[in-house]
Amino acid sequence: MNDVSGPRPLVDNRVSPVDDLLRAVAEDPERPLLRSRSEVLSVGELADRAREVAAALAGRGVAAGDRVALVAGNSIDRVVWMFGIWWCGAVEVSVNVELRGPMLAHVLTDCDPTLVACQDDLFHHVRDAAATEVMAMSALQVEPLDMAVREELDAAQRGFGPGELATILYTSGTTGPAKGVMLPRAYFSNLAQVWIDRLDLT
């Protein structure tokens, strides 16, 4: 007889990827988490680097609820920035790196970002399309944080609820101007749990 019980229920206390990361740090900060051709980042290293980005963004005036447009391809740095934006309560706007000209300008105008950050080789394309400040991701001045600042950042992010806006992800725009899809903080954690359950990952 077939199992028709359906998917297992989601974990009901998932709040955000940042909260998930902090739990993972508490369990085993040395566990490898991200791997590229040139680098391996542990759970604890991702948390440290993301906190540094969060503190540096806050130092530039980025506050909770502000939108930070991120124009970058898949990389460890992109993941670090994404977590850093979430960590300070800001909203990460994922921008397709293939966009140019009017289509890029539409997204960068529509999301009304406080800051636009991009990978270095896209700086000129992005700067020409943006109506607000643009910076290369490598230009952000990050510094190691003392324990007091780390604890302050962690305490602040725990004040953000699962339903608060985390990311705006734009549609492909094939039938008209791209539209921003608003995704809450818990969406990513619960989506990860769905894939863990369906693929039986350990």
Q: Which parts of the chain register pLDDT below 70? A: 1-12
pLDDT of residue 31: 96
List pLDDT tens digits, range 55-74.
999 999 999 999 999 999 99
Quote the pLDDT of residue 173.
Answer: 75
The 10s digit of each residue's pLDDT in 97-125 is 999 999 999 999 999 999 999 999 999 99
Of the candidates 145, 200, 189, the one whose C-alpha atom is nearest the C-alpha of residue 23 is 189
Residues 162/16, Cβ–Cβ less than 8 Å: yes
**CA-CA distances (angstroms) from residue 134 to 53, 92, 128, 167, 173?**
16, 15, 9, 19, 23
Ordered by where they begin, the domains of the chain are 17-199 (3.40.50.12780)
Global pTM value: 0.90
Of 134, 157, 20, the closest CA to residue 84 belongs to: 157
